[in-house]
Amino acid sequence: MKAAVYYETGPPAVFRYEDVPDPVCPAGDVVIDVEAVSIEGGDVLNRAGGAMSDSPHIVGYQCAGTITEVAPDVTDRAVGQRVVAVAPFGSHAARAAYAVQATWPVPDSLDIKEAACVPIAYGTADVCLFEFGRLRPDETVLIQGGAGGVGIAAIQLAKRAGATVLATASSDEKLERLTRDFGLDHGINYKQVDLADEARKLTDGRGVDLVVDSVGSTLFKSIDALAYKGRVVTVGDMDQGKQPVDTSILSARNLTLTGVFFGAELLIGTGRELVTRLIEDVAKGDLKVVIDRTFPLSDAAAAHAFIESRKAFGRVLLIP
């Protein structure tokens, strides 16, 4: 089969489009023909400098496609069934093996490309807002990186819950689209204003109750934007901002800082059931998936470079 692989981490140019052995199907697994790969933020970070499971390495957390092989001990999946799947690596390929508990059936009414975008981004947004962020309907939330996959999901989920939603983006065009299409209450162009000052201005000087921060380098601004007893949930780190936090800046205003990794929620929490509900919500049209553009799997380098350009609005997909 064909795959986008690399032999060393680095910039997008490290990708090679090569023939690699087909995956085997061990006990408890299924093999799928990959039809759409949603490139996650972690994929970009792993390619840039993360751990490699093998050489050549096939990166990628999430994809969707059709099952072509089922291990003998698997009874709740079948050949020909469409699924979306999550694993630590392996999605950037024409075919991939996944543990059955890391797959979710795709409803007939849901496009396979949209299904490929749901589990990680929408699951992450949901747990950040509600499980760990404890967002209430009468509160105000700031979403950092509002035009990204997690950001667009979080805006919809927070609005659906009745909260007042602020979000940051790099252009007025993106903010206008978030307002028009998803009901964003207030947009903040972080290239033009100080985001913490603007968040306070938009809340009459009080600050926001909750910030969901998937950017990393914005963490101190997120903390600064909080109201008394406010909460920051930090998830991922697209800017790789390795910033130590002096806890005294939290205790002075009784603030809370929580780190979230959705993979742990999938393994030992209620993440699997949550993803099932979110897939159903997308299939019904209660939540929307935005796909900016698709690239052939052979152009994985160009797709990763496009994500790193910060020009994308929504998801970027690879199509084998």
Supply 67's token pair: 């099952």
Mean pLDDT of the chain, nearest integer: 95
Which tens digit of pLDDT belongs to each residue from 254-296?
999 999 999 999 999 899 999 999 999 999 999 999 999 999 9
Residue corresponding to tokens 């913490």? 196
pLDDT at 240 over 90: no
Supply 99's token pair: 């543990």
Which secondary structure element, helix H or strand E, spans residue 149, and what is its range? helix 149-160
Q: What pLDDT sits at residue 243? A: 67
Q: What pLDDT sits at residue 76? A: 95
Q: What pLDDT sits at residue 237? A: 67
Q: Which amino acid is at 239?
A: D
Average pLDDT of the residues in 198-217: 95
Q: What pLDDT sits at residue 236? A: 76
Supply 293's token pair: 């553009």
Distance CA 316, CA 94 (A): 17
- For the chain, give every domain's residue range: 2-117+289-319, 121-261
Distance CA 7, CA 184 (A): 42
Q: Which amino acid is at 165?
A: V
**For the structural domain made of 121-261, what CATH number should be given?**
3.40.50.720
Output the CA–CA distances (angstroms, integers) from residue 108 to 82, 279, 283, in the order listed.
8, 12, 9
Supply 227's token pair: 């109201």
Q: What pLDDT sits at residue 130? A: 98
pLDDT at 117 over 90: yes
Whether the CB-CB separation of 140 and 164 falls below 8 Å is answered with yes
Output the CA–CA distances (angstroms, integers) from residue 308 to 18, 122, 165, in the order listed.
23, 21, 26
Distance CA 270, CA 211 (A): 22
Residue 206 burial (CB count, 10 A): 14
Average pLDDT of the residues in 142-162: 97
Q: Does domain 2-117+289-319 have CATH number 3.90.180.10?
A: yes
Structure confidence at residue 242 as a pLDDT band (50, 70, 90): low
Distance CA 18, CA 16 (A): 6
pLDDT at 123 over 80: yes
Q: What pLDDT sits at residue 80? A: 98
Supply 306's token pair: 């496009």
Residue corresponding to tokens 């072509």? 68
Mapped onto helix, strand or coil, the DSSP state of residue 94 is: coil
Q: Which amino acid is at 243?
A: Q
Average pLDDT of the residues in 44-59: 95
